[in-house]
Amino acid sequence: MKYSVFTLEEWFDRYEFKVDHLLGSSSCAGMTVNELFDLTGETIDFGKTRLTAAPVGGLPELQEAIATWYKNTSPGEVFVTCSSTEAIFLLVESLVGAGDSVVAMFPMYPALYQLASDIGAEVRKWRLRHENQFRPDFAELEELVDETTKLIVINNPQNPTGNVMSDEELRRVIAVADRAGAKVWVDEVFRGITVDSNPATASVRDLDQSTISSGSMSKSFGLSGLRVGWIAAPKEVLDSLWHIRYYTTVCAATIDQQIAALAHRFRDVILARNQAIVDENFGVLQEWMAEKHGIFDWVKPLGGPITFPKFIPDVDTDEFCLQLAEKYSVLVPPGNYTFDAEGFIRIGYGMRRFGEAMEIVSGALDEYF
């Protein structure tokens, strides 16, 4: 099997360590180990850590800490992975095959649907349309799901639009899936970060224990250097992917898992720190979008630290974002190349120096137009 080019990650890999501003990053602002220790009031004595492999499903202390973020999920229903990317790989490889169909929100983080296409499944795009404020169309969902559908895959909060599905909407998705005998999988990497005082999103696992949730230390936690993710799912789902793990990483790194467990025990403190940064940056974003009302048609995000504004004039987003990276040292993913959505760009507002980066983009827009 040949894998498609992962265009979003390829774009970041091309420029991430060369530019001054990662304006398109979907992660919250990172921190040092000492900053994490100061924030939590606890430390880890790494000198006593035995550098041996961890259990395949994860360190028990991390499984237990993650399970407390769900209402009805036991530690045994948590499977720790090397980043959410591995979680995605394991779920797709174990649950989908050639001849199956997968219904995926679109636009969306490419790995969530592209892997299924690469292994021969039919990917049906459940489109979030800008003209509908990125709200889901359930009549369309009903038309897309049939007896071949094995998975309905969504983000909540959604990447790149910042859309949020309510509990009622999630229950409607679950009902559609149940009628077709399909699984619902919600990628919840932005869970815990709200926008403009909107309520926090519940996990789909809290609504129905037959569903699948995936998470990460990278986005809402801002700890992308740990490369730790997880899957929360029924035991039969985890059993189906266990043997595939032996062909990938076998287990996540022990030290990374120790730090992740500490972060989860103090996740309220960490999420509050990151929420404060997002709140401040969102104020800057709103003012900036108001000033650029003749350039962008903006649907305000409802959750997570990302937004997906649409250009009003015709713009080659690949070319514009290429200029931002190479001439202005600002990295923004172009909607066309990275999300197959020409006319849009993804802006992340969870990082430090956000206002500074937006001023640079203002100058680039003045020159471009």
Quick one: pLDDT at residue 368?
87
| Contact predicate 365/295, CB 8 Å | yes
Q: Cis peptide leading into 110, omega within 30 of 0?
A: no
Beta carbons of 54 and 252 less than 8 angstroms apart: yes
CA atoms within 13 A of residue 32's CA, in its CB half-sphere: 3
Rounded Cα distance between 363 and 55, Å, is 51
Indicate the pLDDT class of residue 113, thresholds 50, 70 and 90.
very high
Same fold, 7-32+269-364 and 50-266: no
d(C-alpha 19, C-alpha 100), whole Å = 41
Q: pLDDT tens digits for 75-107?
A: 999 999 999 999 999 999 999 999 999 999 999
Percent of the residues in the chain that have a pLDDT greater than 90, as a whole number: 97
Mean pLDDT confidence for 33-54: 96
Closest by CA to 304, choosing from 226, 225, 187, 204, is: 187
Average pLDDT value for residue range 148-170: 97
Residue 185 has pLDDT above 80, yes or no: yes
Q: Residue 213 and residue 87: Cα distance in Å, rounded?
A: 10
Assigned token pair, 306: 């990302």
In this predicted structure, the answer to whether residue 170 has a pLDDT above a threshold of 80 is yes
pLDDT of residue 54: 97
218 pLDDT above the threshold of 80: yes
> Is pLDDT at 315 greater than 80 in this prediction?
yes
Contact 3, 93 (CB under 8 A): no
Taking residues 322-335, report their average pLDDT.
97
- Write out the two tokens for 286: 């709103």
State the burial class of residue 82 (Cβ atoms within 10 Å of its Cβ: 0-12, 13-18, 19+): buried
Mean pLDDT along residues 271-296: 97
In DSSP terms, 79 is beta-bridged to: 231
- What pLDDT score does 87 carry? 98
CATH of domain 50-266: 3.40.640.10
Read off the pLDDT of each residue in 350-356 and give the average, rounded to a whole number. Answer: 97
Structural contact between residues 229 and 86, judged by C-beta atoms closer than 8 angstroms: yes
Instruction: Decide if 21 contacts 15 (C-beta within 8 A).
Output: no
What does the pLDDT average to over 167-185? Answer: 98
Take residue 319 and report the two structure tokens written for it. 């070319």
Residue 91: both structure tokens together: 């779920």
Burial 105-135 (b: 16+ CB within 10 A, else e): bbbbbbbbbbbbbeeebebbbbebebeeebe
Q: Who contacts 175 (Cβ-Cβ below 8 Å, separation ≥6)?
A: none
| CATH (one of 3.10.20.740, 3.40.50.970, 3.40.50.1380, 3.90.1150.10) for 7-32+269-364 | 3.90.1150.10
Supply the pTM of this predicted model: 0.96
Looking at every residue in the chain, the average pLDDT score rounds to 97
Question: For residue 4, what pLDDT is reported?
Answer: 92
pLDDT at 369: 84
Task: Region of 86 please: left (phi>0), alpha (psi -120 to 50) or beta.
Answer: alpha
pLDDT higher than threshold 90 for residue 2: no
Say how far apart CA 10 and CA 361 lie, in whole Å.
22
- Residue ranges of domains in the chain: 7-32+269-364, 50-266
Kindly indicate the confidence band of residue 1, based on its pLDDT and cuts at 50, 70 and 90.
confident
